[in-house]
Amino acid sequence: MPLNEFDIISKYFANTELAFGAKELVLGIGDDCAIFTPEPNEQLVVSMDMLVEGVHFLENSDPTLLGQRSLLVNLSDLAAMGARPLFFTLAVSLPEVDERWLEGFSKGLATVARANSCPLVGGDTTSSHPKRGGRTLCIQVHGAVPKGKALTRGGAQVGDSVYVSGTIGDSAAGLQLLQGPDTRGLSDQQQEFLHCAFYQPESRISLGIALRELASAAIDISDGLASDLGHIIASSRVGASVDTDRLPISEAFKAMVPEEARTEIALGGGDDYELCFTIAPRHEEALRKRCSQLGVTVTRIGQIDLEPGLRWKKQGEELKLDIKGYRHFEAARRLVNG
Ligand code: ADP
Ligand code: MG
pLDDT of the residue at 328: 62
Cα of 10 to ligand 1 centre, how many Å? 9
pTM of the model as a whole: 0.93
Gyration radius of the chain's alpha carbons: 20
* 123 CB near ligand 1 (under 6 Å): yes
**What pLDDT is attached to residue 34?**
96
User: What stretch of H or E contains 10?
Assistant: none
Tell me whether strands 239-243 and 317-319 are parallel, antiparallel or unpaired: unpaired
Ligand 1 neighbour 177 (Cβ under 6 A): no
Pocket test for ligand 1, best of 4, 7, 9 (most atoms within 8 A of CB): 9
Which uninterrupted H or E stretch holds 210? helix 205-211
Task: Measure Cα distances from 119 to 109, 124, 165 in Å.
Answer: 9, 15, 26
Q: Are 25 and 113 in contact (CB under 8 A)?
A: no
Query: What is d(CA 262, CA 275) in angstroms, rounded to the nearest whole number?
Result: 20
Q: How far apart are the CA of 266 and the centre of ligand 2, in A? A: 45
Beta carbons of 152 and 235 less than 8 angstroms apart: yes
pLDDT given for residue 180 in this prediction: 80
CA distance linking residue 27 with residue 29, whole number of Å? 7
- Atom number in ligand 1 closest to CA 92: 23
Whether 317 is in the pocket of ligand 1, judged by its Cβ within 6 Å, is no
- Which of 33, 93, 125 has most ligand 1 atoms within 8 Å of CB, for mutation? 125
Q: Which atom of ligand 1 is nearest to the CA of 120?
A: 25
Question: Which residue has the least CA distance to atom 8 on ligand 1?
Answer: 32
Q: Which residues are paired to 315 by β-bridges?
A: none
What pLDDT was estimated at residue 332? 43
- pLDDT for residue 338: 30
22 Ramachandran zone, left/alpha/beta (phi>0; psi -120 to 50): beta
Strand intervals (E) in the chain: 25-27, 35-36, 42-52, 84-94, 120-127, 136-146, 161-165, 215-220, 239-243, 275-279, 298-305, 309-314, 317-319
Mutate to test the pocket of ligand 1, among 124, 126, 142 (most ligand atoms within 8 A of CB): 124
pLDDT tens, per residue, the chain with 338 residues: 789 999 999 999 998 999 999 989 999 999 999 999 999 999 999 999 999 998 888 888 999 999 999 999 999 999 999 999 999 999 999 999 999 999 999 999 999 999 999 999 999 999 998 777 799 999 999 999 999 999 999 999 999 999 999 999 999 999 888 888 778 789 999 999 999 999 999 999 999 999 999 999 999 999 999 999 999 999 999 999 999 999 999 999 999 999 999 999 999 988 999 999 999 999 999 999 999 999 999 999 999 999 999 999 999 899 988 776 666 655 444 454 33
